[in-house]
Chains A and B, each alone.
Chain A
Amino acid sequence: MIKKLGLVILSLTLLIGGCAEQKLLEKIGLITLAGYDLNEDGKVVTTAVIRQVDQEFQSMVTTSSAVNDSSLGALTEINRKTTKKLMQGQMRITLFGETLATEGIGSFLNTLSKNSSTSSGILLAMTAGNAKELLEYPYKNINDVGQEIYKLIEQNVDAELVTSSTLHEVSQDYYSVGRDMIIPIIERKEEVIEVTGVALFNKDKLVGQLPAKDSFYLLLIRGKFKSGKFETTIPGDIFSSNQSDSSEPVPVVLDTISSTKKLKLTDKNVPEFELQINLNGRILELDAEMDFDNPVEIEKLEKAINQSLTEELKSILDYCQEINSDVFGLGKQYRSQVRNSKLTHESWHAKYPTAKVNIKINFKILRSGVFE
């Protein structure tokens, strides 16, 4: 019995000996957002949005920045300026400045993935211009710029207005052969921050940008699109009953209820693809007189929508081929259909600019609202 007791005491003392390091919530400063820029000397400027709790029950959000060769080194620099130990575990957003993105963000993706305390669900975005300027601007209505940007992007992703850009998804593209990554661009417009576009990459370098409204087409081709609103224009002369100037294009707002996407490689030598997109949706807004009971009219309208969607897609595709950024994942399709292709990033990007894509879009109007 005494022997047993001795063992228990021995083990207890052993246990007390090994103590884990504490990270008390109120003793640490939480970095909720980190922004990276490149300055003129080629060094990394890190801006961190830090949330910490002060003695008056209030959360305090501060922005601080430092210059260093590496991203983590800069964090140490910032830590020298703060009263609390900085931790990255609650980081939600990482921003890259435009100059940095042009230089390449691969090493940052690698560092972020390596760190076990950062989640693979953090969102990535690019700032038009400098991340530091965007973050350090004294906004009148925004308390916590980190939270603001996170909610902004999250909301846009949920509404399927921009592509989801979690660290995992972006690095999935980054490390894959045959699909390039895209991340949303945010910009300060006076007192508000908004999503203004999509940044297109070739491997890890920024090569082009598309306006925000075009991200719908990107989503559509990447197969991430399920349902959502989009806007397009159709030529006004298809409406027989239209008395107004028939040559003027008419804007139409559509809401997709369901969509399917099929991408097929039809000729591996060119290479040539066939992209078939089926959309079912309803009309939300149409600035023209139209008889929705007439099947011929509807068919006409559908055709016009298909036509305009195809044209838009075509132009985006051409642009992407021009800047050599395969954001649609054509290469992935190529690799998955061609046996023993031994596809590498380089070999695919030699083929990609000359690839042909035949786009077939089939939009079907199911409903047109409650009022004609």
Chain B
Amino acid sequence: MGTPKFMSKMRIEKNAKTYSRKKEKMGRSPMSNKFFKNMFKKKESKQQAQSDSSSLKNKSINNHSHDKKLISPDKAKFISLIEKESNNPSDLKTKFITEDYTLFYIENLVDSRVLNKHILPVVLKNPNSSPSELKFQLQIPEANMTENLELAILELFSGAALIHKNGYPTVLLAKINTRESRSLSAPENESQVIGSQVGFNESLSTNESLVRRYIRTPDLYIKKLTVGKISNTTVSILYLKSIASEEMVQTLQQRITDLKIDALLDSSFLAEMIDDNSLSPFPQMLLTERPDRFCDGLLNGKLGILVDGSSMAVICPHSFIEFFQSREDQNLRWPIASFLRLLRFSAVFLSIFLTPLYVAALTFHYEVIPQSLLVPLSESRALVPFPPIIEALLLELIIELLREAGARLPTKVGQTIGIVGGIVIGTAAVQAGITSNILIIIVALSALASFTTPSYMMGNVIRAIRFPIIILAGFWGFYGIMLGFCFLLIHLIKQSSLGTPYTAPFYPPRWVDWRDSIIRLPLPLTNLRPTSSRAKKRKKYEEEPIDPEKS
């Protein structure tokens, strides 16, 4: 296989026309609605897949004709070429081992121990062997030959040592890059009580190995792509070959290779770029730092993306409701898991609509307040100089400020800020009479409710969309809230995740999938993969009797 970047470049040239056509179809323009356009085009994609594979074959045959810069066999010429291409940075080391052999590497990128122990002695011992012979003599895990200068430079900067022998138009790439990464630790943003306590870290290879350790099968396929003109970040697409839908893999790969960005520093950036609708506030792909959640997605026929240098993995397609499911739900007994899911989902409604309902009732609909609540409500409001909408917005803003400050500050200070802010500002605000104490309870409750969402990205959205709805409620009461609700509903119906409906499994209705949606039925009943992932194999395992006779 050629290098990923090269491959994609090739394909772009090859299929330029197909791509532009497909890109229109993919329609990344925000307003156009891909939900339907993407949904049923199996046939087209199959053709697409065929043309892709044929293009791959062509590529290996026509490899030479497309290369622009080749390795020069002449030693001096090669050195100058390398220096010219790499802009001769100060950390580029050029070492003459023997008369013929020259070694290039970037200091600090290569493992000097391996270099000194396993490369230099071998080259010194066999001064007459050709580079291809040397390739087998080197005692390192990965060594490649290439004639492509561009590739050689790229590898040089990703931590390979180049070994060049005078007179040979090829260069040996010894990959001995250092793997500096922090050790594995518990996921901080997605903690759970029961379940594994390990999270991804920033190293792609570590993350891949983590996944491989969960799913030990040749079926797990890793496809590597390079994204970013400057950063040349490696992106891996992971999926189970016998389960995941080919069409979806194609679409995803398409979207990633179509990216014309200079740098990719984090997977969340990638996720937003390849979303179906980048303008929507709702994330359409799940970002997770939990390998078990990631593997769960893969096993359900979904596709995973790992980005080098990012501790967050991307899972797609992901429907709206799945953002509110935690991996932990699988680890708990089903009634408890169902209860927790219902709790979380009602927390979403509470979080979005509780404050607006307060604002609406106090501004327009005093009739709906029960008598027992009337007295405390009106008394707590007596001193507040602002109308409820300002009061609510102010308090919501304070809560958001506290949260943001807590997130930015170091952990220890953050906790203090939370307590100080919560108690001092809350109490003082009530005593100063700028907010009513009932509103404080409501705002705190809805903030709390929004934090139950197991996805941080979705939790943020839930908190953010509250503001426009508060404003709507402040202007037009219940009518405004309903306007906001209907708009949200239509918006969600319109969205899609990698071409699959965002509101799955509710609409289009897949009744069987409802078993594992806002509730979770016992495991024997949820042995099917979700329809929305279009898995090749629908069954996870054979259905077991619900109440088996234990031997």
Q: Using CB atoms and an 8 Å cutoff, list the residues of chain A in contact with chain B.
A: 4, 15-16, 19-20, 22-26, 28, 30, 51, 53-59, 87, 89-90, 92, 117, 119, 147, 150
| B238 contacts chain A at the CB level, 8 A cutoff | no
Report A-chain residues with C-beta under 8 Å of the C-beta of B377.
25
Report B-chain residues with C-beta under 8 Å of the C-beta of A30.
366, 374
Contact indicator A23/B366 (Cβ below 8 Å) = yes
Contact indicator A26/B364 (Cβ below 8 Å) = no
Report A-chain residues with C-beta under 8 Å of the C-beta of B31.
4
A59 to B475, CA, bound (A): 27
**Cross-interface CB contact of B363 among A15, A24, A55, A119, cutoff 8 Å:** A24
**Cross-interface CB contact of B367 among A20, A56, A90, cutoff 8 Å:** A90
**Cross-interface CB contact of B381 among A15, A25, A58, A87, cutoff 8 Å:** A25
| B397 contacts chain A at the CB level, 8 A cutoff | no
The smallest beta-carbon distance between B473 and chain A, in angstroms, is 11
| B188 contacts chain A at the CB level, 8 A cutoff | no
Report A-chain residues with C-beta under 8 Å of the C-beta of B523.
none
Chain B: which residue is nearest A146 at the CB level? B371
A16 to B476, CA, bound (A): 10
Contact indicator B374/A20 (Cβ below 8 Å) = no
Report B-chain residues with C-beta under 8 Å of the C-beta of A15.
475
Chain A: which residue is nearest B367 at the CB level? A89
| B209 contacts chain A at the CB level, 8 A cutoff | no
Task: Take A59-B375, A90-B371, A119-B367 as given contacts and tell me if A20 and B477 are in contact as well, using a CB distance cutoff of 8 Å.
Answer: yes
**Cross-chain pairs A/B with CB under 8 angstroms, 11 sampled:** A20-B475, A25-B362, A26-B378, A26-B384, A51-B378, A53-B379, A53-B381, A54-B382, A58-B382, A59-B379, A150-B371
Contact indicator B379/A58 (Cβ below 8 Å) = yes
Contact indicator A117/B367 (Cβ below 8 Å) = yes
Additional A-B contact list (17), CB under 8 Å, known A20-B477, A25-B381, A147-B371: A4-B31, A20-B364, A22-B364, A23-B363, A23-B364, A24-B362, A26-B381, A30-B366, A51-B378, A57-B382, A57-B383, A59-B379, A89-B366, A89-B367, A90-B367, A90-B369, A119-B367
Instruction: Please encode chain B, from 324 to 365, with 1 for each CB lying within 8 Å of some chain A CB and 0 for all others.
Output: 000000000000000000000000000000000000001111
Contact indicator A22/B366 (Cβ below 8 Å) = no
Report A-chain residues with C-beta under 8 Å of the C-beta of B479.
20
The smallest beta-carbon distance between B114 and chain A, in angstroms, is 53
A58 to B371, CA, bound (A): 16
Q: How many residues of B contact A (CB 8 A)?
A: 25
| B387 contacts chain A at the CB level, 8 A cutoff | yes
Contact indicator B476/A24 (Cβ below 8 Å) = no
A26 to B379, CA, bound (A): 8
Report B-chain residues with C-beta under 8 Å of the C-beta of A20.
364, 475-477, 479
Q: Using CB atoms and an 8 Å cutoff, list the residues of chain B in contact with chain A.
A: 31, 362-367, 369, 371, 374-375, 377-384, 387-388, 475-477, 479
7 tightest CB-CB pairs across the interface, nearest first?
Answer: A89-B367, A53-B382, A26-B381, A53-B378, A25-B362, A25-B366, A20-B476
Chain B: which residue is nearest A88 at the CB level? B367
Contact indicator B367/A26 (Cβ below 8 Å) = no
A353 to B378, CA, bound (A): 52
A24 to B362, CA, bound (A): 6
Contact indicator B387/A25 (Cβ below 8 Å) = no
A56 to B388, CA, bound (A): 19
**Cross-interface CB contact of B383 among A19, A25, A55, A147, cutoff 8 Å:** A55
Contact indicator B366/A59 (Cβ below 8 Å) = no
**Cross-interface CB contact of B371 among A4, A16, A54, A92, cutoff 8 Å:** A92
Contact indicator B387/A22 (Cβ below 8 Å) = yes
Contact indicator B366/A28 (Cβ below 8 Å) = yes
Contact indicator B366/A90 (Cβ below 8 Å) = yes
The smallest beta-carbon distance between B194 and chain A, in angstroms, is 46
Contact indicator B381/A22 (Cβ below 8 Å) = no
The smallest beta-carbon distance between B458 and chain A, in angstroms, is 25
A181 to B109, CA, bound (A): 95
Report A-chain residues with C-beta under 8 Å of the C-beta of B383.
55, 57
A89 to B364, CA, bound (A): 11
Chain A: which residue is nearest B380 at the CB level? A57
Chain B CB within 10 Å — which of A19, A20, A28 has the most? A20
Chain B: which residue is nearest A20 at the CB level? B476
Chain A CB within 10 Å — which of B367, B377, B388 has the most? B367
Chain A: which residue is nearest B483 at the CB level? A15
A89 to B5, CA, bound (A): 70
A24 to B31, CA, bound (A): 39
A244 to B49, CA, bound (A): 108
Report B-chain residues with C-beta under 8 Å of the C-beta of A28.
366
Report A-chain residues with C-beta under 8 Å of the C-beta of B364.
20, 22-23
Chain A: which residue is nearest B31 at the CB level? A4
A90 to B371, CA, bound (A): 8
The smallest beta-carbon distance between A303 and chain B, in angstroms, is 47
Contact indicator A24/B387 (Cβ below 8 Å) = yes
A22 to B369, CA, bound (A): 16
A15 to B475, CA, bound (A): 9
Contact indicator B367/A25 (Cβ below 8 Å) = no
Contact indicator A24/B371 (Cβ below 8 Å) = no
Contact indicator A26/B382 (Cβ below 8 Å) = yes
Chain A: which residue is nearest B365 at the CB level? A23
Report B-chain residues with C-beta under 8 Å of the C-beta of A87.
366
Contact indicator B387/A57 (Cβ below 8 Å) = no
Contact indicator A59/B378 (Cβ below 8 Å) = yes
Contact indicator A19/B378 (Cβ below 8 Å) = no
A20 to B389, CA, bound (A): 14
A128 to B248, CA, bound (A): 81
The smallest beta-carbon distance between B359 and chain A, in angstroms, is 11
A16 to B475, CA, bound (A): 8
Chain A: which residue is nearest B361 at the CB level? A25
A150 to B379, CA, bound (A): 20
A92 to B370, CA, bound (A): 11
A30 to B373, CA, bound (A): 14
Chain B: which residue is nearest A52 at the CB level? B378
